[in-house]
């Protein structure tokens, strides 16, 4: 930035420059992953101890490894460690003094100690126990308290990888009510939805009490084939039970890497101690909610196909209702336009059926990567289906059981993520050409440390762009930013623009590149780019002019303003430098530039101005910061015999990085 002004005997100009330091840094990152090796001779749901690794473990019924660490942490793996939950068994509120650590008794891992909260303490016993309740088994956490605790809510740390958590509210909330509701034909509370058919009240949806307020946990972006519905776990609502068998449900909240349990205070006040709290972590792929599904109505949930392929079958969890044995079949519809992609054989539900049923594809089924599809089921009589609550994940449509409609129109959206999935063979068909990018548009708009930086690139694709991801090590660890839709930046947008605040340290080398996919989920990535963070400074002039009232023969007269005042913002230590344009002139007369002296505040140590940049004495190696106010002084000597007049010159000021 440069400013100029003729005032009195001077023209004042400022120039701020930035210097560049080249420094190359190497970044490493680690992936946390368990890859268990199954030992066929070991029983499922039985705790073993690994003396070499120093932890306990057990196998679920589907041969997933659950690690139980001596410090109270448990790691629940899915899909050979591709996804996992890690949680701490010891509350993070107050202080737990463990007296008996990780004791294995009757297939339970136990810790005993005292829970200190403020000046109070309660004896506590914590257990981890494998159970056979859910589809593939469970891990039950329980805490026994001998006396009334001084608080009714506590948290435990919880982390996860490649998972999404979906809260299961009371059914009346799912149906749009703030409280239980009923009229002459309809009833809904936390656990039941009932409808009056003119003769009887029929339960159409049932959510078990331990599912109300619980969390269904799914793979963040995968399902089908070996992932089935994508469901990994279910964390059920905890219950508290006292010594006389009185019980109450607790509130469960999972957010910000904390699992919080809140106990009804009234229960704690009246309980007969000891009391036990016992949330359960279940291994399951089936939805936790049971829905009575009428005949002549299509029910579907949508999912994204991860790759091109040919659908082989659709699998759905079904249960017989009463004595009905309906005919049922499944189909695949493209979500964007409702077109029929493929359909399955028909099957008649058998008496007593309660389980998964696989329907073979008999027509169509070509799938394209990155495309959203409805997986639909349709029967001619009543049956039960299962689901978890996920916003806008499902739909339904009334239609007399017959040939599949094409297209699927007139649907009503629901919050049902049904227990249904597709098995397919990958490869073949579809768009296989990835997006391309213009290398001339790949770059950033700044390298200034600590400043917002726009990372940008322009893309194109034959079928349509979908989204992009910025990969970088700006914080020292290689990181992928959240996938962003191109259209979220404007319909038809083709720029992958994302702004980050650069590392505050000058001289850091940042590695980055941009991934992008198209609507067929073909991916491409730019070449790796590097930028080195640089010095950044802003300068504001408070003293916009200066002058001297001086007579010939006078020496070292201070400027009338007393000081030149400036304000500086810089991201590293800096030095203020000055120079003059040349001698002070008035027509054909002049005063030597060297007659002007500069210093922060001391004449005795001042230096003469020249036409070359010089450090201002006293303003060298100034600490970095924001809006730093600095001052320096100027003195002038005028030789005897100098003619009177207005003498002017140009003063330059710049901020440079201090380099030692």
327 with 379: CB under 8 angstroms? yes
Nearest to 313 by CA among 349, 362, 346: 362
Q: State the Cα angle at 136 between 131 and 139, rounded to 5°.
A: 35
Which residue has better confidence, 495 or 307? 495
* pLDDT tens-digit map of 351-377: 999 999 999 999 888 888 889 999 999
Give the tokens for residue 181.
């509701």
What is the average pLDDT value for the chain, to the nearest integer?
A: 89
Domain-terminating residue out of 237, 253, 283: 283
Residues 130 and 237 in one domain: yes
Burial of residue 300 (number of CB atoms within 10 Å: 0-12, 13-18, 19+): buried
Pairing of strands 153-161, 484-485: unpaired
Q: Measure the CA–CA gap between 660 and 155, rounded to whole angstroms.
A: 50
For residue 30, tell me if it sits in a domain: no
Give the tokens for residue 384.
């039960």
Q: Measure the CA–CA gap between 7 and 590, rounded to whole angstroms.
A: 17
Nearest to 291 by CA among 402, 175, 183: 175
Q: State the Cα angle at 332 between 328 and 335, rounded to 5°.
A: 130
Which residue has better confidence, 91 or 171? 171
Q: Measure the CA–CA gap between 394 and 375, rounded to whole angstroms.
A: 9
Q: Measure the CA–CA gap between 297 and 397, rounded to whole angstroms.
A: 6
Residues 138 and 264 in one domain: yes
420 with 330: CB under 8 angstroms? yes
Torsion of CA 125, 130, 131, 134, to 10 degrees: 120
Q: For residue 428, what is the DSSP state? A: S
Q: Is 60 exceeded by the pLDDT of residue 647?
A: yes
* pLDDT tens-digit map of 137-182: 999 999 999 999 999 999 999 999 999 999 999 999 999 999 999 9
Beta-bridge partners for 49:
56
Q: For residue 303, what is the DSSP state? A: E
What's the CATH number where 300 sits?
A: 2.60.120
For residue 557, tell me if it sits in a domain: yes
Residues 488 and 569 in one domain: no
Residues 312 and 350 in one domain: yes
Pairing of strands 55-59, 383-398: unpaired
pLDDT for the residue numbered 398: 96
Please count the CA atoms within 13 angstroms of the CA of 24 that sit on its side-chain side.
1
Whole domain around residue 183: which residue ranges? 171-206
Q: Measure the CA–CA gap between 309 and 423, rounded to whole angstroms.
A: 10
276 with 394: CB under 8 angstroms? no
Lowest-confidence region among 12-21, 257-266, 533-542: 12-21
Pairing of strands 650-657, 10-12: parallel
**Taking every pair of C-alpha atoms in the chain, what is the biggest distance, in angstroms?**
122
User: What is the C-alpha radius of gyration for the chain, rounded to an integer number of angstroms?
Assistant: 36
Q: Is 272 helix (H, G, I), strand (E, B) or coil?
A: coil
Question: 493: which residues sit within 8 A by CB, 6+ positions away?
Answer: 486, 487
What's the CATH number where 11 sits?
A: 2.60.40
Domain count along the chain: 5
Q: How far is C-alpha 641 from the chain's CA centre?
A: 76
512 with 469: CB under 8 angstroms? no
For residue 27, tell me if it sits in a domain: no
Residue 659, phi-psi category: left (phi > 0), alpha (psi -120 to 50), beta (remainder) = alpha
Residue 31's pLDDT band (boundaries 50, 70, 90)? very low
Q: Which residue has the tokens 């776990």?
A: 233
510 with 501: CB under 8 angstroms? no
pLDDT for the residue numbered 281: 80
Q: How far apart are the first and last CA of the chain?
A: 25
pLDDT for the residue numbered 8: 32
For residue 264, tell me if it sits in a domain: yes
Residues 413 and 457 in one domain: no
Give the tokens for residue 134.
């859910």
Q: Measure the CA–CA gap between 92 and 348, rounded to whole angstroms.
A: 53
pLDDT for the residue numbered 249: 96
* pLDDT tens-digit map of 575-611: 999 999 999 999 999 999 999 999 999 999 999 999 9
Q: Measure the CA–CA gap between 328 and 330, rounded to whole angstroms.
A: 7
Residues 233 and 313 in one domain: no
Backbone angles phi, psi at 486, to 5 degrees: -60, -40
Which helix (H) or strand (E) segment holds residue 267: the answer is helix 265-270
For residue 36, tell me if it sits in a domain: no
Which residue has better confidence, 464 or 13? 464
Nearest to 316 by CA among 388, 402, 229, 403: 229
Beta carbons within 10 angstroms of residue 78's beta carbon: 25
Residues 408 and 422 in one domain: yes
For residue 34, tell me if it sits in a domain: no
Lowest-confidence region among 307-316, 503-512, 559-568: 307-316
Residues 543 and 518 in one domain: no
Residues 481 and 342 in one domain: no
Distances (CA, A) of 35 to 40, 55, 56, 81, 438: 16, 15, 16, 6, 40
* pLDDT tens-digit map of 207-230: 999 999 999 999 998 988 889 999
Residues 66 and 152 in one domain: yes
- Supply the DSSP string of 355-412, one letter for each residue: EEEEEEEEEE-EE-TT-EEEEEEEESS-EEEEEEEEEEEEEEEE--SSSPPSS--S-E
pTM, entire model: 0.59
Q: Is the dihedral of CA 379, 381, 384, 386 positive or negative?
A: positive
Residues 420 and 293 in one domain: yes
Residues 408 and 498 in one domain: no
For residue 302, tell me if it sits in a domain: yes
Burial of residue 620 (number of CB atoms within 10 Å: 0-12, 13-18, 19+): middle
Domain-terminating residue out of 426, 451, 475: 426
Q: Measure the CA–CA gap between 191 and 212, rounded to whole angstroms.
A: 7
Q: For residue 648, what is the DSSP state? A: B
Q: Is 60 exceeded by the pLDDT of residue 33?
A: no
What's the CATH number where 504 sits?
A: 2.60.40.10
For residue 242, tell me if it sits in a domain: yes
Q: Is 50 exceeded by the pLDDT of residue 7?
A: no
Q: Measure the CA–CA gap between 246 and 57, rounded to whole angstroms.
A: 33
Domain-terminating residue out of 474, 504, 532: 532
Q: Measure the CA–CA gap between 163 and 140, rounded to whole angstroms.
A: 20
Q: Is the dihedral of CA 48, 52, 54, 55 positive or negative?
A: negative
Q: Measure the CA–CA gap between 633 and 597, rounded to whole angstroms.
A: 8
Residue 38's pLDDT band (boundaries 50, 70, 90)? very low
């Amino acid at each position: 930035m440069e400013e100029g002004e003729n005032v009195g005997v001077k023209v004042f100009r400022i120039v701020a420059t930035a210097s560049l330091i080249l420094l190359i840094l190497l970044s490493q990152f680690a992936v946390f992953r368990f890859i268990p090796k199954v030992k066929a001779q070991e029983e499922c749901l039985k705790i073993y101890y690994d003396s070499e690794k120093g932890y306990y473990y057990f196998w679920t019924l589907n041969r997933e490894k659950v690690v139980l660490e001596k410090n109270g942490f448990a790691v629940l793996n899915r899909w050979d460690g591709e996804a996992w939950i890690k949680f701490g068994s010891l509350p993070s509120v107050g202080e737990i003094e463990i007296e008996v650590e990780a004791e294995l008794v009757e297939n339970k891992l136990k810790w005993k100690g005292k829970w200190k909260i403020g000046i109070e303490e309660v004896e506590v016993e914590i257990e981890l126990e494998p159970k056979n309740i859910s589809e593939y088994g469970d891990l039950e956490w329980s805490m026994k308290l001998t006396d009334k605790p001084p608080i009714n809510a506590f948290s435990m740390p919880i982390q996860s990888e490649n998972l999404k958590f979906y809260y299961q509210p009371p059914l009346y909330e799912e149906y749009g009510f703030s409280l239980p509701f009923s009229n002459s034909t309809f009833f809904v509370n936390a656990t039941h939805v009932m409808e009056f058919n003119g003769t009887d009240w029929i339960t159409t949806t049932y959510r078990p009490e331990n599912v109300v307020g619980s969390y269904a946990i799914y793979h963040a972006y995968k399902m089908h084939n070996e992932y089935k519905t994508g469901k990994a776990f279910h964390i059920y609502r905890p219950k508290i039970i006292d010594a006389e068998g009185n019980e109450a449900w607790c509130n469960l909240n999972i957010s910000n890497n904390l699992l919080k349990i809140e106990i009804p205070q009234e229960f704690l006040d009246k309980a007969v101690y000891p009391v036990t709290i016992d949330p359960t972590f279940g291994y399951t792929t089936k939805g936790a909610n049971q829905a009575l599904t009428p005949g002549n109505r299509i029910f579907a949930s949508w999912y994204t196909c991860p790759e091109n392929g040919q659908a082989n079958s659709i699998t759905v969890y079904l249960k017989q209702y009463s004595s009905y044995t309906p005919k049922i079949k499944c189909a695949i519809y493209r979500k964007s336009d409702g077109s029929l992609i493929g359909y399955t054989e028909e099957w008649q539900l058998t008496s007593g059926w309660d389980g998964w049923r696989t329907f073979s594809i008999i027509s169509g089924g070509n799938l394209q990567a990155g495309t959203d599809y409805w997986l639909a089921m349709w029967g001619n009589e009543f049956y039960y289906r299962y689901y978890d609550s996920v916003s806008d994940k499902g739909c339904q449509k009334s239609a007399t059981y017959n040939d599949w409609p094409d297209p699927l129109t007139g649907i009503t959206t629901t919050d049902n993520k049904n227990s249904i999935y597709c098995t397919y063979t990958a490869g073949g068909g579809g768009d296989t050409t990835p997006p391309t990018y213009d290398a001339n548009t790949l770059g950033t708009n700044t390298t200034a440390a600590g400043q917002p930086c726009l990372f940008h690139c322009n893309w194109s694709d034959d079928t349509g762009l979908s989204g992009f991801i910025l990969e970088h090590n700006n914080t020292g660890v290689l990181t992928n930013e959240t996938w962003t839709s191109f259209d979220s930046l404007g319909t038809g947008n083709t720029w992958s623009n994302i702004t980050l605040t650069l590392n505050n340290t000058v001289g850091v080398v940042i590695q980055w590149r941009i991934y992008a996919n198209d609507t067929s989920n073909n991916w491409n990535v730019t070449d790796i780019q590097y930028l080195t963070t640089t010095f950044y400074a802003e300068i504001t002039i408070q003293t916009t002019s200066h002058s001297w009232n001086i007579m010939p023969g006078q020496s070292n007269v201070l400027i009338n303003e007393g000081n030149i005042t400036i304000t500086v913002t810089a991201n590293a230590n800096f030095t203020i430098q000055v120079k003059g344009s040349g001698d002070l002139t008035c027509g054909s007369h002049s005063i030597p530039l060297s007659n002007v002296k500069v210093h922060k505040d001391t004449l005795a140590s001042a230096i003469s101005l020249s036409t070359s940049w010089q450090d201002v004495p006293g303003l060298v190696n100034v600490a970095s910061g924001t809006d730093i106010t600095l001052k320096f002084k100027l003195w002038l000597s005028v030789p005897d015999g100098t003619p009177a007049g207005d003498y002017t010159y140009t003063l330059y000021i710049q901020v440079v990085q201090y380099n030692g």
